[in-house]
Amino acid sequence: MIILTGGAGFIGSCFLKLLNENGIKDIIVVDNLGTSSKWKNLVGKHFSKYIHKNNFFEEIISIPNLKIEAIFHFGACSSTTENDIDYLIKNNFDFSMKLARFAQSNQAQFIYASSAATYGNGEFGYDDNRFQDLRPLNGYGYSKHLFDLWVIANKLETEFTGLKFFNVYGPNEYHKNEMTSMIFKSYYQIEEYDKIRLFKSNHPDYKDGEQLRDFVYVKDVIQVIWEIYEKNIKGIYNLGTGHARTWKDLAKAVFDALNEKPVIEYFNMPESLQSQYQNYTQAEMKKLSDAGINLNFRTLEEGVEDYINNHLVKDYPYF
């Protein structure tokens, strides 16, 4: 039995497909479908039971002869603009802590999602050996950082696996609204306006469109997670490509995938975002490489081309 929280979400549903492809169907999906379109991410996938996140601990103990091999904890509120910090801590920290203890009591492998948002503005770099003095810029990043610190304070990094996801993009993110990737948004901007709109720079060190992010394709991310699961790797690691690219690069990749001439318009960044905007992220990947994980990532151009032409242009874009 495998438990997959966030199993109807972006990364979770893609990983669910990979589990199925490897013959694993005895899976409990934990999520909060509500009125969103997340349920569509589950269509065609195999799992034994769905449990609403609010009922998980009550329902899981009622299952007889339960033997849990692994818990993949990808469920969270991932909105970087969420201002209800009490909610973020309850949802992203308290639930994670309780689930981690549940994994321990069942001697189950525990792999959870952290975030590059824990690094804040990157003033201390993006070294996944450094934790104590990081300063997240938003409540989401803070809630993820709190759980990383809890794992370390309780000396559980030798038992658990945390993954600091960088800028993940790809199919099945469609329900995320404002939190969808810029590739997704750009595709529809071109469709509607024949151009892509990017933020003007808010920092003198970066020209418009030359802010840098580590963009990583979800199909590569789930392969890394699978390898970590198979090899039973422990610790807290970055999960990005290790190669930062500009927003201009991203925009050009989208236009190229559509065989269109690039047209980019820059506009002022909202004041509400300026204090929490990351102008540069790039994962340091040596730690995960040294752990024996194969880091064979698509380039930004390869990932965008696959995402657009094998998903977004299709009538049925799901993975």
Cα 139 from Cα 93, distance rounded (Å): 11
Q: Are 8 and 41 in contact (CB under 8 A)?
A: yes
Show the beta-strand stretches assigned E in 41-183.
49-52, 70-73, 109-115, 160-165, 167-169
The answer to whether 189 touches 195, Cβ cutoff 8 Å, is yes
Write down the catalytic residue from 112, 126, 140, 169: 140
Tell me if residue 4 falls in helix, strand or coil: strand
Please tell me whether residue 37 adopts helix, strand or coil conformation: coil
- Return the H-helix or E-strand segment holding 103: helix 95-105
Instruction: Give the 3-state secondary structure of residue 50.
Output: strand
Looking at 40, 53, 176, 200, which residue is catalytic? Answer: 176
Amino acid in position 81: T
Burial class of residue 186, CB neighbours in 10 A (0-12, 13-18, 19+): buried
Tokens 């329902």 found at:
59
Check if the beta carbon of residue 160 is closer than 8 Å to that of residue 112: yes
176 is an active site residue: yes
By the 10 Å C-beta count (0-12 exposed, 13-18 middle, 19+ buried), 89 is classed as middle
Distance CA(124)–CA(268), nearest Å, equals: 27
Q: How many other C-beta atoms can be found within 10 angstroms of the C-beta atom of residue 203? A: 12
Catalytic positions: 140, 176
